[in-house]
Structure 1
Amino acid sequence: MQSETLPAILERDDNVVVSAPTASGKTALAELAICKTLAAGGTALFLAPLRALTNEKESEWERFEEMGYSVYVVTGERDLNTRRAERADILVMTPEKTDSATRKHDSARYSFITDVDCCVIDEVHLLDSDKRGAVLEVTISRLRRLCEPRIVALSATMPNVEDIADWLDAPDACTFQFGDDYRPVPLHASVETYATGENAFQNKYRRLYRALDLAQPHIEEDGQSLVFVASRQDTVRAAKKARDVLAERDIDIGARGDYDLHTDAQDLRNDTLRQSVVDGVAFHHAGLSREDKNAVEAWFKEGKIQLLFSTSTLAWGVNLPARCVVIRDTKLHDPLEGEVDMSPLDVLQMLGRAGRPGYDDKGYAHVVCEGRDAEKYRRLLREGKEIESRLAAELDSHLNAEIALGTIRDLDDVMEWLQTTFYYVRAQSAPDQYRFGGKLRERVRETLQDLVASGFVETDDELRVEGTPLGRLASKFYLRLDTAEGFKTLADRAAEETLSDADVLEAVATAGEFDSVSARRDERDAVRAVLGPDGDDLDPGNRKVLAILRASMDGNTPSELRSDAWVIRQNALRMVAALREFLDRFAGPYAANVACRVEARVENGISADAVGLTAIDGIGKGRGVKLAKEGLQTPADVLAAGVDGLVDAGLSEGLAERVIEQARDLPVVEVEWSEFPDRIAHGTSEMHDVTVKNTGGGARGEVRVTVNGVEMSSESRYLGEATVPVGVFGADADELTFRVEVAFAELPLLPESETRTVAVE
């Protein structure tokens, strides 16, 4: 396979598409394309399907560093070093991070993305992923328009490789489709059923016993088996139970007599893993420490671990083939979607791991499923999975994003953009499967009209199009358009009336992104314990989201909700940050400050009175709660306590010094009332100046003046010193209470306020 593709990669500059079985050596093709780019003085971008694999490539490609080339990984979990990114010879990114970079390509921070000369797409069949396919598709289309890199797309076996080639303009001489006869180890694949019962928990163990029945013959022959399960928790539980079952069945495991393995296993951080490994059974998932994962992978490659339980992460690129692969779980629980079928892509990717080149004459792969699903999986094994575009379901949001970015400026641009997508190519080759078929232009024109009617896009008589502030914010935060409309409606309301924490939480909990969240029966009592009667009018899934957010604010999430809480909270934090900007843009800093404080409380689990502490760099959940318990609730309290006070509250002296230094960078508001009167005669009026000073660090805020609760004036500005004219009128009331309030849009500080009362005589 490598020999046949080598001339296309080395001797030509065209785009290349290669579809070949798993474990047939596609990584070497990626490295070959990268080497050609480096030899010409260019920059290569490697798109990895998972963040875990970007880290793997970083260590695997240290040999490029030894040759004098720079490899730099850009992911959302790391702070971007712009200087390193600009100087990198090889960039390693996920599709999502590349999408973000290409959206911001005209900023100094992300301009490096336009210097890419060659883009290698690993596992291009990710295009067919419901959740991630559209992102990969629009990102590649955008990258090609920005800098026209050479594209080398690599994939596991797929029937319609010619569609990918058409999309990427790869000529026939550079398009390759290798069948199973190119697998280094022939594959025997089957679908196995099990006897189901009413109890889902018991069914899980029935599937486990079925999986062990399939793996046992290979383990007894000193072979290895890899069993894929639905969740991290399931890998641990399955490994524990499998150890007991193998012992009951008196199956001889070589690891039990391996003294060196027993000694080395003591260094593992995970207690359960440490106990399992010595019996030749292990588990692997993204939540393990890197050291533990590295150890498991090394021992599996050495054959010391004979039975390994894993989540799907191992199927996408980590090179750990086994003689026998079993998919125990074809359904999984998604915190945002409820119970879903495992994607056909994942199934094929996992099965492709069966068979160890150089060790096995044949690989064995099995899908364990309910009888009613058996034919579906047999057809998948027989026919494979054609790659479809997933852009149609998200066409409105992606079209809005391109317009907001300015890459589409008129109707002609819209049509040109459409023709750069895989959606366009696929709809031409399989019109019956795509609802609009050959009428894509009409579909896009209707979508554009809907964007204009909804206020995301504006157009003129010459058919030029431009993103509105609403459209740009929706694009910036990757929001569904119905969610963006809901946020805009709330912002409009907040411009007229006071916003509450409850308003912010409900707007996020009812966002379209959470439409598919389900509340299991055992979770509903926990939801009611958190919310009481609040939110009774919401769907159960939205109430569950609301309960998780409310509980997170108090730092006390019920155990029944914790399994889904992390994913829901991370998505919600992104949306609260988006809502904060909507409020800032359409209602002002005062409303945005409410969302900012809610965001800080959800993230840190801290009380409303002490949330301002989180504005200090270095104060997060643990330290904030600790200081609040000692009576320090605001940055002003921290400054007043000084280093000694913070040390008494439990911080180390070095940390206390840094916290004090950071607290000094926050704004400190002082209000000077000058000659403001104590009394005024009925029927008269006077104008007086009130001075608002910020004696601390600079920040943008809103100065609002009210009298007896009615707003007189408000001004948004970068706060240094502001003089606010205030009218004092002898009205019908016996007294007038004037309040000057200052709120900061981007800091979770409680609004500062001072009042003066004027008697009317």
Structure 2
Amino acid sequence: MQVSEAVPQFAEAFAFEEFNRMQREMLPALLESDENVVASAPTASGKTALAELAICKALRDDGTALFIAPLRALTNEKESDWERFEDLGYSVYVVTGERDLNPRRAERADILVMTPEKTDSATRKHDSARYSFITDIDCCVIDEVHLLDSEKRGAVLEVTISRLRRLCDPRVVALSATMPNVSDVADWLDAPPETTFEFGDDYRPVDLHADVKTYTHGDNSFADKYRRLYRALDLAEPHIREDGQALVFVASRQDTVQAAKKACDEIAERDIPIGARGDYDFHTETQELRNETLRNSVLDGVAFHHAGLAKNDRDRVEEWFKQGKIQLLFSTSTLAWGVNLPARCVVLRDTKLHDPLEGEVDMSPLDVLQMLGRAGRPGYDDVGYGWVVCDFKDADKYRKLLRDGKEIESRLAEDLDSHLNAEIAMGTISDLDDVMSWLRTTFYYVRAQSKPDEYDFENHRERVRNTLQRLVSRGFVERGDDLKIEGTALAVLASKFYLDLDTAERFRRLAETEEIDASKILETVAGAAEFDSVSSRQSERDAINSVLVGQDSGDLEAGGRKVLAILRSSMTGSTPGDLRSDAWVIQQNAVRLFAALRAFLKRLDRPFAANLVTRIEARVENGVGERSVGLTAIDGVGAGRASKLATEGLETPADVCEAGVDGLVAAGLSEGVAEQVEASARKLPDVEVEWGSFPTRIGRGENDMREVTVRNHGDGEQAAMDVTVNGVEMTTKSTYLDGETTVPVGVFGGTDDEMEFTVRVAFPDVPLLPFTDARSVRVE
């Protein structure tokens, strides 16, 4: 059927003119029904078009569609792919990080694109103005719904969809690779039989021959990588010699680069006819690549692909692979879940990967099947070849996976405490009956009925009661006299900031500590449960010890000490080379934890400690010194500019204002940037303390009440003020400081001959050093 015949008003939104057999069979369910839809189909069979058809139905009905993509890298690709919808007058908006969210654009969007984690966060905050858009969804398309079985992310997707259905009950269209128990997913989503589809391998455009090849595991993991690489090249070589293409999946971004380099040498050694060095036009095109290593390898017909490459480089690699100019491509799993780049031969060189937060882990069975599914090029091959290269002791496990597939299980029970806490904190659960009602909306409940023994379904009510009791005993939930339950402030903060419950308790303990300094803050975050699985490799020990020499790391284990070393070195932009491979992921997670800790401290009335956390967070993000951290509060000043300005002696926003545009230009900024930076600096809080008629002397034993005026010359901001006398705190005040306010100060003649009165002003949410001013009073 022609696209223009089925959806005439959206024909230009599709990248092809005719639907295939699977797509034709699903047209009535997607376009003529309002029922929920579940479809399981082989990889490369055209599921993306099913998502687009569901979106077309929502737009035709003047609704808003949400597309949940499995990876963050793919959300950006959808934004690019769906410019076709933009050309038809519909707006597409990708919802990413908290700081980048534009609520107005999200509210007005016709198509929203989000990851499961972002959707979870948005639904948790649905009653805030920033995230209210999430309750206006009319159709939710879940791409790769078999992600439910992911150990780390499955439960998030499960509770998010259950919550979204309770909030606004959108039509749900769930798409999946082949899975044996598609009926369980359909039961969970209330998709009737007539809109539940299970397409077998006969719908796969190209037959797949998948098998396992083993290698002998040695003592050196580095050498093992090359053993597996040579095995992968052995499997790919015959197909490349026949003008086919091979796609080799490896564990990490760095591995794609190293494998491509080594493969170029090995291909030359084996004299495999590959590459396009004689193609002058292609040679000219390659010079536009940003990555130098990639620029050299593509001329030999070898390339690599990962989410860290510049988008232009990724786009060109994908295009050249489709054109056949690249015959051997090394990639991370991003290509398996996203871009449709099939190859005659697919090899999984690595079945284990290093996760910065988890250490060495097995690749998910879902990832394995997803990658192998890329084998076979429709229109070019009659059969695709997929190989898993693994240690002989793992061979039977992977053969069974290839033979039987993978049933989709619920992962909710593995983190039931945290997810139940989130629901209670939002107020959607107020008693035990509500808990059971919530549980019945989950995939866990459906799956437990299918496999009651494995899920211990008979005792599920007892499990829920025990979970609830733990939350009560740990201070997350309060139980009233009428058996009602309610989330505490601790529960709300843990849910809002997506915290492990152990971490929330850890933050509360710090907030209740009398003296809070930078070392305690860093140690608290480094020891968070989110970092429990971080491992410290032998090669990293010296680097860790060099960073922490002379520093107290408390009771942290080896993994926590590694996190602490990365955070401390990040604050000065001096992370040792041996720690850099994991540093980015750890820094990003730490920044989120710092934001949560700041909220804890503000909630428990510790604003000066909150300001210290804000400054530490800014230093970890930007690698700037303690004196110049305030520069990062200026819009347009990141790590590079902050360093440049500090080197020129401009360490604070006040210094920037005093220097003016001319001074900033002299410090190395262009005139346009200098004007923006100066204007932004002038908006930041700028504090002045006016002591007025404050006395210079007082009689011993006398008392006098005075008022000190605190004035902010910048934009308004939440502020904390305190007054100390000879180091002892006497007065505190928190207020939104826009203009001026007064602080009462009791002047008294004590036993000391001189009284030092100090006013401190700090801004909990702005990384400015606290402002201090003092006056001395003689006691006579």
Same topology, TM > 0.5: yes
Q: 1:429 aligns with which of 429, 450, 453?
A: 450
Deviations 1:2-57 (A, max 9, x none): 34333333333221111111112222222222222222222222211112222222
Partner of 1:44: 65
1:381-460 matched pairs, under 5 angstroms: 381-434=402-455, 436-460=456-480
Tell me whether 646-655 or 196-205 shows the greater mean CA deviation: 646-655
Matched, 1:560 2:578: yes
Aligned-partner SS, 1:446? helix
Tell me whether 651-660 or 284-293 shows the greater mean CA deviation: 651-660
Aligned-partner SS, 1:158? coil
Conserved in 1, the CA contact under 8 Å of 2:275 and 2:298? no
Partner of 2:591: 573
Partner of 2:733: 715
Deviations 1:202-242 (A, max 9, x none): 11000000000000000000000000001111111111111
Deviations 1:66-125 (A, max 9, x none): 333333322238833434333333222221222222222223333222222221111000
Deviations 1:356-397 (A, max 9, x none): 111111110000011111111111111111111111122111
Letter in structure 1 aligned against 2:672: G
Partner of 1:468: 488
Partner of 1:491: 511
Conserved in 1, the CA contact under 8 Å of 2:633 and 2:767? yes
Partner of 1:508: 525
Structure 1 Cα separation of the partners of residues 271 and 718 of structure 2: 71
1:138-217 matched pairs, under 5 angstroms: 138-217=159-238
Conserved in 2, the CA contact under 8 Å of 1:554 and 1:606? yes
Q: 2:323 aligns with which of 302, 311, 330?
A: 302
Conserved in 2, the CA contact under 8 Å of 1:72 and 1:88? yes
Structure 1 Cα separation of the partners of residues 39 and 86 of structure 2: 27
Deviations 1:424-451 (A, max 9, x none): 11122112222x4232222222222222
Structure 2 Cα separation of the partners of residues 616 and 75 of structure 1: 22
Conserved in 2, the CA contact under 8 Å of 1:744 and 1:751? yes
Matched, 1:220 2:241: yes
Distance 1:512 1:24, change over 3 A: same
Aligned-partner SS, 1:608? coil
Partner of 2:675: 657
Structure 1 Cα separation of the partners of residues 200 and 263 of structure 2: 35
Deviation at 1:602, TM superposition (A): 0.8
Structure 1 Cα separation of the partners of residues 294 and 161 of structure 2: 40
Tell me whether 366-375 or 72-81 shows the greater mean CA deviation: 72-81
Q: 2:718 aligns with which of 690, 700, 715?
A: 700
TM norm structure 2 = 0.94
Partner of 1:82: 103
Structure 1 Cα separation of the partners of residues 649 and 375 of structure 2: 60
Conserved in 2, the CA contact under 8 Å of 1:424 and 1:440? no
Q: 1:746 aligns with which of 765, 768, 774?
A: 765
Structure 1 Cα separation of the partners of residues 180 and 545 of structure 2: 50
Tell me whether 393-402 or 9-18 shows the greater mean CA deviation: 9-18
Aligned-partner SS, 1:277? helix
Distance 1:228 1:735, change over 3 A: same
Distance 1:482 1:78, change over 3 A: closer
Aligned-partner SS, 2:26? helix
Q: 1:521 aligns with which of 530, 538, 547?
A: 538
Matched, 1:321 2:342: yes
Matched, 1:115 2:132: no
1:541-560 matched pairs, under 5 angstroms: 541-560=559-578
CA RMSD of aligned residues (A): 1.7
Structure 2 Cα separation of the partners of residues 10 and 695 of structure 1: 59
Deviation at 1:254, TM superposition (A): 5.2
Structure 2 Cα separation of the partners of residues 645 and 88 of structure 1: 43
Distance 1:718 1:63, change over 3 A: closer
Structure 1 Cα separation of the partners of residues 65 and 717 of structure 2: 40
Partner of 2:628: 610
Letter in structure 2 aligned against 1:250: D
Structure 2 Cα separation of the partners of residues 45 and 599 of structure 1: 33
Matched, 1:601 2:616: no
Partner of 1:729: 748
Conserved in 1, the CA contact under 8 Å of 2:275 and 2:299? no
Structure 1 Cα separation of the partners of residues 423 and 759 of structure 2: 43
Aligned-partner SS, 1:72? strand
Matched, 1:532 2:549: yes
How many residue pairs end up in the alignment? 757
1:229-268 matched pairs, under 5 angstroms: 229-253=250-274, 255-268=276-289
Partner of 2:42: 21
Deviation at 1:536, TM superposition (A): 6.2
Conserved in 1, the CA contact under 8 Å of 2:624 and 2:642? yes
Structure 1 Cα separation of the partners of residues 477 and 385 of structure 2: 54
Aligned-partner SS, 2:457? coil
Structure 2 Cα separation of the partners of residues 448 and 698 of structure 1: 42
Letter in structure 2 aligned against 1:98: T
Conserved in 2, the CA contact under 8 Å of 1:505 and 1:546? yes
Q: 2:121 aligns with which of 100, 110, 113?
A: 100
Deviation at 1:521, TM superposition (A): 0.8
Structure 2 Cα separation of the partners of residues 17 and 58 of structure 1: 24
Matched, 1:647 2:665: yes
Structure 2 Cα separation of the partners of residues 81 and 701 of structure 1: 26
Letter in structure 1 aligned against 2:649: G
Structure 1 Cα separation of the partners of residues 675 and 65 of structure 2: 44
Letter in structure 2 aligned against 1:529: S
Identity %: 74
Distance 1:29 1:689, change over 3 A: closer
Partner of 1:587: 605
Tell me whether 719-728 or 118-127 shows the greater mean CA deviation: 719-728
Aligned-partner SS, 2:300? coil
Structure 2 Cα separation of the partners of residues 310 and 730 of structure 1: 75
Aligned-partner SS, 2:708? strand
Distance 1:44 1:675, change over 3 A: closer
Tell me whether 412-421 or 206-215 shows the greater mean CA deviation: 412-421
Structure 2 Cα separation of the partners of residues 690 and 35 of structure 1: 64
Structure 2 Cα separation of the partners of residues 328 and 732 of structure 1: 78
